[in-house]
Amino acid sequence: MSQRQALPIGIQTFEDLRTGGADYLYIDKTAYIHEMTKLPKGYYFLSRPRRFGKSMLCSTLQALFEGKKELFEGLYIHDKWDWSEKYPVVRIDLSGIKYTSIEDLEKQLTNALIDNCHKFELDLDNFKKSGHGPQLSELIRTLYERYQSKVVVLIDEYDKPIQDTLSNDDDLASKSLDVLRGFYSAIKASDQYIRFCFMTGITKFTGVGLFSGANNFEDITLDSSYASICGFTQHELNTCFGDYFDGIDMEEVQAWYNGYNYLGEKVYNPYDILLFLKKKGKFDNYWWDSGQPSFLTKMFEKGAYETYDLENLELSSQELKQFTLSNFNLPSLLWQAGYLTITEEIQEPFGGSSYVLATPNREVRMTLNMLFLISLTSVESNRLLKRNEAARSLFKNDLEQFEASVRAMFAAIPFNNYVQNNIQKYEGFYASVMFSFMAGLGLKCRTEESISTGRIDMTMESPTHIYVIKFKVNAPQPKDGERGEALDQIHEKKYYEPYLNYGRKIVLIGMHFNEKDRNLDWFKTEEL
């Protein structure tokens, strides 16, 4: 058996990956690059979640345009590129710091310009123009005149300063957008000097001045021709990773990390796959634990979305692809950030498309729902440490333990959550909390599922049982021998019928909550 290629964990540039003193595994994406660069001029924008390989893609483009032929030996593009042409490449990377002020952004732009000037032995202080945008224009023009060649501009994570400031209560995100608009205006002003421009980010904000005008950026985010330009496909896992996946349950790998859909073949998050293999096949929340945008919790609170809505959202093409700071669309942001993915494209009869969204895989579903639970209930994560007992109890069909776990979870919700509202009066609150609680444990849950007789509040599945649940608030206490309103409604509407042929035992659960105690009043079960 041939020696395994080294996993490229922590490798930051294409050049290091190809010449870093080890035989690093590289998934060849240069066919996509060839397609994107074959025209004499091009402006492209690509949105992908964090840690999806955008920076490596920019680094590969840089090496290609700089004519580093030896790095591409054996790759698709090697014998298809004109290596006699070399271009000066200006690369701006805004991913390096956490932005907490406009001063942070101004300093990072200055440093980016200085780094590019040093690369070409120029002095930014000698530039006649002032301001980051005009200085970038002067840099591009100067390089064009010096090398008698058009310039390539690569901008990585263009929107990170806006992402970092989205959760601020002031208008810092808006101020950051204004600064970036002035900076990126240099690209349009320098059009005559530019051969190729490629920009990456997580979110497509309107109002930045990049997506309109004569040199409009072509958004390839949902272009099926580029669906797999970042991330790993199943075919790539099967053919490029040697024996790394020997003895590993590939169905579980798919359930945990696959599922990102950009209107082509689904892709895996590459960060997850590389860390999973490094940890010798241990399933864990690698991508999620690498850091979440700080805006998520606050946006959940502002959005007022019921958790289960995030498993079956429908958005128009316009809503999905971009939004403004003044008209914030949480589902669109969650999709662009990688917490939702497209499960279906709907061609509208009047033209255009709509998209159905859901979480892409188990890792995101579990962690997103746990974050939603913490946001919804204000319960600190360390007070939910015993939450796994709830899942274990269902796998053992120990309903007494399950009831105890549910009671403990609701008892942990701070009283202050109820002071300025009446959420404890509504079944939807308890349903949302229960869904987040159980889905955050990795259980397969469904809510508000429509059948001919009505909507089933919630179902949960274990390998041996299906649990059909009905929630009630302030219902009358059932007398001895009575089922109670919740179980009565399950029987009346025959909510269990869709599951009779699943080959698993069916358990009906009625949960009656008390507005005064803000917890279970009583809990009844029945096995069919």
Give tens-digit pLDDT for 71-105: 999 999 999 999 999 999 999 999 988 889 999 99
Tokens of 501: 């042929």
Q: Is 513 helix (H, G, I), strand (E, B) or coil?
A: strand
Give the model's pLDDT for residue 15: 96
H-run or E-run covering 46 = strand 42-47
Give the model's pLDDT for residue 373: 78
Give tens-digit pLDDT for 517-528: 888 888 999 998
Query: How far from 502 is each of 163, 397, 443, 461, 527, CA to CA, in Å?
Result: 44, 17, 17, 11, 15
Which residue is it, tokens 């998934």? 27
DSSP-assigned letters across all residues of 297-345: HHHHHHHT--GGGGGSEEEEHHHHH-B-SSS--HHHHHHHTTSSEEEEE
Please give the DSSP secondary-structure letter assigned to residue 271.
H
Q: Is 505 helix (H, G, I), strand (E, B) or coil?
A: strand
User: Counting beta carbons within 10 angstroms of the beta carbon of residue 210, is it exposed (0 to 12), middle (13 to 18) or buried (19 or more)?
Assistant: buried
Which residue is it, tokens 């979480």? 359
Mean pLDDT rounded to a whole number for the chain: 88
Number of neighbouring beta carbons within 10 Å of residue 506: 18
H-run or E-run covering 366 = helix 362-377
Cβ partners under 8 Å of residue 246, min gap 6: none
Beta carbons of 436 and 370 less than 8 angstroms apart: yes
Give the model's pLDDT for residue 1: 37
User: Counting beta carbons within 10 angstroms of the beta carbon of residue 24, is it exposed (0 to 12), middle (13 to 18) or buried (19 or more)?
Assistant: middle
List the one residue out of 452, 451, 449 whose CA is nearest residue 460: 449
Calpha distance 73→78 (Å, rounded): 6
The distance between the two most distant Cα atoms of the chain, rounded to a whole number of Å, is 92
Beta carbons of 362 and 256 less than 8 angstroms apart: yes
Tell me phi and psi for residue 356, to 5 degrees.
-95, 135
List the one residue out of 162, 123, 163 whose CA is nearest residue 139: 123
Give the model's pLDDT for residue 420: 44
Number of neighbouring beta carbons within 10 Å of residue 405: 22
Cβ partners under 8 Å of residue 512, min gap 6: 472, 473, 475, 484, 485, 486, 520, 521, 522, 523, 524
Describe the strand order of the beta sheet including 465-473 as a list of residue ranges.
444-451, 454-461, 465-473, 505-514, 519-527
Give the model's pLDDT for residue 421: 42
Tokens of 317: 């093409």
User: Checking DSSP bridges between strand 313-316 and strand 353-358, what pairing results, if any?
Assistant: antiparallel
Q: Report the Cα–Cα distance between both ends of the chain, in Å, rounded.
A: 54
Which residue type, as a one-letter code, is found at position 250? M
Which residue type, as a one-letter code, is found at position 88? P
List the one residue out of 230, 37, 54, 55 whose CA is nearest residue 152: 37
Give the model's pLDDT for residue 204: 83
Give average pLDDT by consecutive 10-residue segment, the chain, 528 residues. Answer: 80 92 92 96 94 96 98 97 97 91 95 96 90 96 97 95 78 89 91 96 75 72 96 96 95 96 96 97 91 67 63 84 72 88 90 90 88 72 64 91 89 59 60 84 84 90 93 87 91 94 94 86 92
Calpha distance 432→373 (Å, rounded): 8
List the one residue out of 220, 232, 319, 313 whose CA is nearest residue 271: 232
Q: Is 284 helix (H, G, I), strand (E, B) or coil?
A: coil
Give the model's pLDDT for residue 512: 93
